[in-house]
Every structure is written in C-alpha cells, then in structure tokens.
C-alpha cells in the first residue's frame, strides 16, 4: 500500500478514491464509474480489497470538481447537451421519451453521452422510424437486462443512446447499480431545465 494513504481511515480512503475517480471521469471521459473507482484505488496504491465509494459519493466529488475547475465550460456543456436531448426527444416523441443519466443529473463530463429511454412494443418500430427519418444508428450493448435494445445515434458531435424498453416497463421504477432510484424526465421537464441552464450574457 502507498504509505501516504495507509494511515487513512476507511471514510478518508473512500473520499480520496472518489476524488481521484471524479477527475478521471471529468478529464479522461471514463463513463464507467466502477472502472474509474478501481483505477483510482490502484493509482493510489491501495489494495484490491479496499472499500470503494458508492456512485453517490463519486458524483458528489464530480460536481465539486467541475464547479471548482470547469465552472463556465461545464455550464455551457450541460446547456448544449440538454438542447440536443430536447431536440432528439421531440423527434422521438411517439415513443414516450425520458432523459436520464449524467446530463439530467448535471454531472456530465467532456465526453458524456446522452441517455434517452424509449418505450414501445417492439424495438423494430424504433429502427423503422429512424430509417424513415433518415437517421443513421448503430446497435450498442444494453447496460440493463430490462432494455430490449440500445440504438446509438450522433447529433452535432454528441453520442445519443436511445435505450428501448417494452411499453409495460414505463411504470417500473428503475434503479442504479448501487440501488438508488434512477431519475428521469419527460420533454417538458427537460425544456424547463434547459431554460434555467442556458448561460445568459451579462450586460
């Protein structure tokens, strides 16, 4: 173990790991929080059985990091991603879209992807719709076993993941890997958030 951290208690170690992991997410585009935490612990010289922080702790450190080091850039990025999400949700409105993930939470880093949940009886309906709209897409691996498919599109240089669920799943409360309720927002809520997130020029 790195002697610099061997005398820290578990809570201090977790905070230090979360801080380093937050920097990895913000600066290096690591979207997998579990991977970022493992890399952070390894980089600190901590053993593999070290207790890692949960995602909520990482997100708290991530928000702090972005506020301290990239405040203006982060505000502009979130506003831009929300705008792209809103435009995409409007196009996909027939599939009851919801925004979720780091863009909604306000923790999206430089390489963040936009996650939009769709609900329909068949993922093929979404594929046919995209083809008819002349929107190119590719299949990505679902991160949830409940999802029927993930169709990834590109909009203004941003990656947008259309996560397709069966219609019956719309009433199901989805949770994150660490057991928290996964936030989601309809188009009207995203538009309200966009209004408050858009940077305004000062006179």
DSSP, collapsed to helix, strand or coil, labels residue 136 as coil
pLDDT band of 111, cuts 50, 70, 90: confident
Using alpha carbons, select from 59, 61, 23 the residue that is nearest to residue 40.
23
pLDDT band of 4, cuts 50, 70, 90: low
The per-residue pLDDT for range 33-52, each reduced to its tens digit, is 899 999 999 999 888 888 99
Across the range 132-148, mean pLDDT stands at: 92
Would you identify the CATH topology of the domain 72-197?
Beta Polymerase; domain 2 (3.30.460)
Domain ranges of the chain: 10-69, 72-197
CA angle at residue 138 from 90 to 81, to 5 degrees?
40
Contact 47, 55 (CB under 8 A): no
Mean pLDDT of the chain: 88
- How many CA atoms lie less than 13 Å away from 128 in the CB half-sphere? 7
């Amino acid at each position: 173990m790195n002697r610099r951290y061997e005398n820290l208690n578990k809570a201090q170690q977790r905070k230090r790991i979360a801080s380093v992991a937050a920097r990895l997410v913000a600066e290096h585009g690591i979207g997998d929080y579990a991977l970022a935490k493992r890399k952070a612990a390894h980089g600190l010289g901590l053993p593999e059985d070290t207790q890692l922080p949960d995602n909520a702790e990482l997100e708290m450190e991530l928000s702090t990091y972005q506020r301290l080091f990239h405040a203006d850039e982060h505000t502009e990025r979130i506003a831009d991603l929300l705008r792209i999400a809103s435009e995409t949700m409007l196009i996909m409105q027939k599939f009851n879209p919801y925004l979720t993930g780091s863009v909604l939470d306000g923790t999206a880093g430089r390489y963040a992807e936009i996650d939009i949940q769709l609900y329909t009886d068949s993922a093929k309906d979404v594929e046919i719709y995209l083809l008819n709209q002349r929107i190119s897409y590719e299949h990505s691996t679902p991160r949830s076993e409940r999802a029927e498919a993930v169709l990834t599109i590109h909009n203004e240089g941003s990656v947008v993941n259309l996560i397709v669920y069966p219609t019956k799943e719309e009433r199901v409360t989805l949770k994150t890997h660490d057991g928290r309720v996964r936030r989601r927002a309809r188009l009207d809520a995203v538009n309200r958030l966009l209004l408050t997130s858009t940077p305004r020029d000062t006179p």
